[in-house]
Amino acid sequence: MDFVNIALAKGRLAENTLKMLTLQGITFPDYHPGSRKLIYENELQKIRIIFVKPSDVAIYVEKGAADLGVLGKDILMENEANLYEVMDLGFGQCKFVVAALRDYVDQPGKKIRVATKFPNVSRKYFHQLGRPIEVIKLNGSVELAPIIGLSDVIVDIVETGKTLQENGLIIISPICRVSARLVANKVSFKTKMSHISRIIEGLRQNAD
């Protein structure tokens, strides 16, 4: 039997994913939180996990370097990769929002300057509203942009609202909910069908 490779987003989503795998008896003996090793194997069950940057999960899965992957819906929406979105894993819950400074006043007809890590999601959302925007692509600390005058609004994910609140921003419109998703390579889904579906079934039973 071939190995099934699972690409996991390093960071916030990794621990929950490993917990779900452990609940179905899939463990990686030499894994421990804080380790810098990026690849682990369960030799008996022929499952390998690889830790990659959240924004790289989709490319590993699309190219078949990984058969399955776990990543946030936010990144999936932004990348629009050619793969199967298999299931909502239930954790990593947050939402996409448009936020601005408390005293921000929208001026209809005026181009909105949007700072974000998610240019495609932002363009699509404002396009649906028929509003022209200028995207300012940032890689983090997006909440700073309106304070410093770099943008009018931001498009970002919000969980507790603490980051917005501590920076004097408020949600002006929710966009959609976001959570962790299991994705699969389209070819592996057929060629490794029985092995993959056993893993998926196990995850389904333990999804929140």
Ligand X SMILES: Nc1ncnc2c1ncn2[C@@H]1O[C@H](COP(=O)(O)OP(=O)(O)OP(=O)(O)O)[C@@H](O)[C@H]1O
**Interacting residues toward ligand X by CB under 6 A:** 9, 11-13, 53-55, 72, 74-75, 92, 94, 140, 157, 159, 178
To which H or E segment does residue 71 belong?
A: strand 68-72
Binding residue for ligand PRP, selected from 159, 186, 191, 208, defined by CB under 6 A: 159
> Which segment (38-46, 81-89, 156-164, 181-189) binds ligand PRP by CB under 6 A?
156-164
Distance separating alpha carbons of residues 42 and 3, to the nearest angstrom: 9
Contact status, residue 153 vs residue 34, Cβ threshold 8 Å: no
Say which entry of ligand PRP, ligand X, none residue 57 contacts (CB below 5 to 8 A, set by partner kind). none
DSSP 114-168: EEES-HHHHHHHHHHTT--EEEEE-SS-TTHHHHHTS-SEEEEEESSSHHHHHTT
Distance separating alpha carbons of residues 179 and 143, to the nearest angstrom: 21
Confirm or reject binding of residue 162 to ligand PRP (CB under 6 A): yes
- The DSSP symbol for 2 reads P
Residues 6+ apart with CB under 8 A from 63: none
Distance separating alpha carbons of residues 135 and 130, to the nearest angstrom: 15
Considering the complex, state which of residue 14 and residue 87 has its C-beta at the smaller distance from ligand PRP: 14
Confirm or reject binding of residue 140 to ligand PRP (CB under 6 A): yes
Confirm or reject binding of residue 15 to ligand PRP (CB under 6 A): no
Nearest approach, Cβ of residue 157 and ligand X (Å): 5
Say which entry of ligand PRP, ligand X, none residue 141 contacts (CB below 5 to 8 A, set by partner kind). ligand PRP
Nearest approach, Cβ of residue 70 and ligand X (Å): 10
Residue numbers at the binding site for ligand PRP (CB under 6 A): 140-141, 143, 156-163
